[in-house]
Amino acid sequence: MPDAFDLIVLGAGPGGYVAAIRAAQLGLKVACVEKRPTLGGTCLNIGCIPSKALLESSELYHLAQARFQHHGIQVGKLGLDLPRMLQRKDQVVKSLTDGVAFLFKKNRITPFTGYGRLVGPGKVQVKPEKGATTDLEAKHILLATGSEPTPLKPLPFDGKYLVSSTEALAFDKVPEHLIVVGAGYIGLELGSVWARLGSKVTVLEFLPKILPQNDGEVAELLHKSLVKQGIAFRLEHMVTGHSVKNDQVTVEFENAGKKQTIAGDRVLVAVGRRGCIDGIGLEEAGVKVDAKTGKVQVDEHFQTTAAGVYAIGDLIAGPMLAHKASEEGIALAEYLAGQKPHVNYGTIPSAIYTAPELAAVGLTEEQVKAAGTAYRVGKFPFSANGRAKCMDQTEGLVKVIADATTDRILGVHILGPRASELIAEAVTAMEFNASAEDIARICHAHPTLAEAVWEASRAAWTVALHA
């Protein structure tokens, strides 16, 4: 007889494992199917966590090279132990994936290793790499299989010369010339890692600007900063092909109608991600996928077009972010338990871990203009912030966009030190429909980076004090 559960989750990433834990906390009998031998999905194994570990290590290396002397610290001859750096990254990953396994055990969640597939109403078949299949049954099934790198036809992944973010997290040596195709957050983050460690990095982008989803003014400031750091950008370049010879990759592209080439020893293809929907039985189960977007169709409760089957995270519409998937997983678990949860998609933050970092929540200035909303903008540079000066990290600014009539905060964009942490105040404020005046009237500790958020809010409401 098949094993019976209240909920079967396909995928143990930030959406799936969080949904499984929350459902178990609420009293449901839960199983979770994961193709990898370790839990945590792309994020913990080959995405968010290992990339941030390398970003942190490479930033420390860069600071020791270029900035420690400003603080009166003499380090002598500096060396790079890349194997040790990669080992540390792997240790961080293991500690966190082990942590998820502990939480599964603590909450009595039954894990299954293998490929899960819908095989009938309320039925899932799990096929491991080796051995017999396992049949499972449940009243509810959650699809949380995440996403994978989107391939680019002229540059098919080969795992050595033409690589995805997975391989770019584990190069056995620092590339002499790394070509990055795609100026989104993945390309910029991993390009930054290897540039700090000594690579020449060239970014090829089809569009006329980097980070097209971000506020244009702030993205342009980051672009200029990365150029100063030595990363070269070639915008409006369409890749058309490649060739490999003598351990070198030559990428062919067109710009303004002219055919050109560029050669490097590794090419990172980072043009986006797509949902992992192949082979999980969607069509047979009656789960509809939007033909244009490739996204699974769901209603406001994450219900797909198949009864009892739900989907969250990168499989459905919305930003492809780990924390967005987690919020949806929690909401789905609580809904199944009879509660009435809600996900506010207008206050989901984003963060890009370059140096300086870029974080944002809400609308960009371009979006506010397009909506025809009257608005005010308040800005405050980190060059005028006392804590940033003490840290010797004064690049960037905080930008607050507020409704001109109501003063309600519409969007906050931060480029600067610890932006990924600072954005939380803006998220909290917007979640409670705060105005720029509300943040401006909150007492902020001095000296802190958060004072820049306070000053930008003052500027959007009336006028900044220290600018």
Same domain membership, residue 11 and residue 103:
yes
| pLDDT tens readout for residues 187-236 | 999 999 999 999 999 999 999 999 999 999 999 999 999 999 999 999 99
In a shared domain, residues 145 and 282:
yes
The band of 297, judged by pLDDT with boundaries at 50, 70 and 90, is very high
124-138 pLDDT per residue, tens: 999 999 989 999 999
Structure confidence at residue 199 (pLDDT): 98
Pairing outcome for strands 309-311 and 134-143: parallel
**Considering the domain boundaries, does residue 466 fall inside one?**
no
How is the chain split among helix, strand and coil, in percent rounded to 5? 35, 30, 35
- If asked whether residues 142 and 236 sit together in one domain, one would say no
Domain span at 264: 162-271
| Domain containing residue 301: CATH number | 3.50.50.60
- Together in a domain, 224 and 128: no
Residue-wise over 167-206: b if at least 16 C-beta within 10 A, else e?
Answer: bbbebeebbebbbbbbbbbbbbbbbbbbbbbebbbbbbbb
- For residues 180 and 241, state if they share a domain: yes
Is pLDDT of 3 > 80?
no
Local confidence band at 342 (pLDDT 50, 70, 90 cut-offs) = very high
Do 87 and 234 sit in the same domain of this protein?
no
Report yes or no on 24 lying in a domain.
yes
Strand order in 350-352's β-sheet?
Answer: 350-352, 357-362, 409-416, 397-403, 375-381
The count of domains in the chain is: 3
Query: Is residue 353 located within the same domain as residue 385?
Result: yes
Does the N-terminal peptide bond of residue 417 adopt cis geometry, omega within 30 degrees of 0?
A: no
**Same domain? 364 vs 405:** yes
Residues 203, 221 within the same domain = yes
Give the chain's mean pLDDT: 97
* Amino acid at residue number 439: I
- Whether residue 424 is contained in a domain is answered as yes
pLDDT surpassing 90 at residue 52: yes
How do residues 152-198 score in pLDDT, each as one tens digit? Answer: 999 999 999 999 999 999 999 999 999 999 999 999 999 999 999 99
What distance in Å separates the CA atoms of residue 171 and residue 194, rounded to the nearest whole number?
A: 10
DSSP secondary structure letter of residue 36: S
Question: What is the distance between the alpha carbons of residues 319 and 331, in angstroms, rounded to a whole number?
Answer: 16
Amino acid at 222: L
From the candidates 71, 301, 446, 466, give the one annotated as an active-site residue: 446
CATH number, domain containing residue 352: 3.30.390.30
Instruction: Using the predicted structure, report yes or no on whether residue 2 has a pLDDT greater than 80.
Output: no
At residue 266, the pLDDT reads 98
- Per-residue pLDDT, averaged over 59-68, amounts to 95
pLDDT at 115 over 70: yes
Does residue 72 sit in the same domain as residue 45? yes
379 belongs to a structural domain: yes
Q: What percent of the chain has pLDDT over 70?
A: 100
100 with 17: CB under 8 angstroms?
Answer: yes
CB 311, CB 287: distance < 8 Å: yes
Domain edge (last residue) among 237, 271, 305: 271
446 flagged as catalytic: yes
pTM for the whole thing? 0.96
Task: Quote the pLDDT of residue 467.
Answer: 85
**Shared domain check, 8 and 139:** yes
Within-domain flag for 157? no
Residues 81-97: tens digit of each pLDDT: 999 999 999 999 999 99
Q: From residue 443, give the alpha-carbon distance in Å to each of 48, 52, 68, 433, 448.
A: 33, 32, 32, 19, 11
Q: Would you tell me the crossing angle of helices 450-461 and 419-431 to the nearest 10 degrees?
A: 50
pLDDT on residue 1: 59
pLDDT digits (tens, 9 = 90+) for 378-402: 999 999 999 999 999 999 999 999 9
297 and 199 together in one domain: no
- Alpha-carbon distance of 137 to 114, in angstroms, equals 16
